[in-house]
């Protein structure tokens, strides 16, 4: 196992978690101010659907998975959300390759660094776990309650 890649993935995951939590807090505060019913659940849904600034996967893993997908290889995914994320990345890589006559290795970093993800590709339940953990680390508020 290449520990540099694991470290890169961990850094990207931490960035994703912070971005999701910051977006959730901003939306939650706005909804609470407007007295929306069940603001936590609504804020989570809106934060997840709003999209992430970029994909939070490492280059090496992206290159391998996207190459397999574009060459019609067999790829097994952990979940439907994971599959949707990789298909989204592969679609953007293919588009960039066709526009600029690039290789997969040239197009993957462009997608990972410059393209906006269509969403966070995280389940609502997992997002709530991330947000609670991040808020605890930030010592900014106590996120009591359940997400339905």
pTM, two decimals, is 0.78
| CA distance readout (Å), 52 to 17, 44, 113, 122 | 10, 13, 12, 11
Q: How far is CA 133 from CA 11, 71, 97, 127, in A?
A: 16, 39, 39, 10
pLDDT in tens, the chain (148 residues): 344 455 677 788 888 899 999 899 899 989 988 999 999 999 999 999 987 778 888 888 999 999 999 998 788 999 999 999 999 999 999 999 999 889 999 999 999 989 988 889 999 999 999 999 998 887 765 554 445 4
DSSP notation for 33-92: HTT-SSHHHHHHHHHHHH--SS--S-HHHHHHHHHHHHTT-----SSHHHHHHHHHHHHH
Task: Kindly report the backbone phi and psi dihedral angles of residue 27, in degrees, each rounded to the nearest multiple of 5, phi listed first.
Answer: -65, -45
Cα dihedral 54, 55, 58, 61 in deg (nearest 10):
-150
Residue 101, CA distances (Å) to 52, 106, 111 in order: 27, 10, 15
């Amino acid at each position: 196992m290449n520990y540099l890649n694991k470290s890169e993935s961990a850094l990207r995951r931490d960035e994703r978690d912070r971005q999701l939590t910051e977006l959730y807090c901003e939306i939650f505060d706005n909804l609470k101010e407007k007295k929306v019913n069940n603001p936590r659940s609504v804020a989570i849904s809106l934060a997840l659907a709003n999209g992430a600034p970029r994909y939070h996967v490492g280059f090496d893993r992206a290159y391998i998975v996207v190459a397999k997908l574009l060459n019609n290889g067999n790829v097994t995914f952990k979940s439907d959300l994971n599959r949707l994320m990789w298909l989204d990345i592969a679609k953007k890589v293919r588009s960039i390759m066709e526009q600029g006559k690039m290789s997969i290795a040239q197009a993957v970093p462009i997608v990972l660094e410059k393209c906006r993800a269509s969403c966070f590709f995280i389940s609502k339940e997992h997002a709530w776990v991330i947000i609670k953990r991040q808020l605890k680390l930030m010592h900014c508020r106590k996120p009591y309650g359940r997400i339905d």
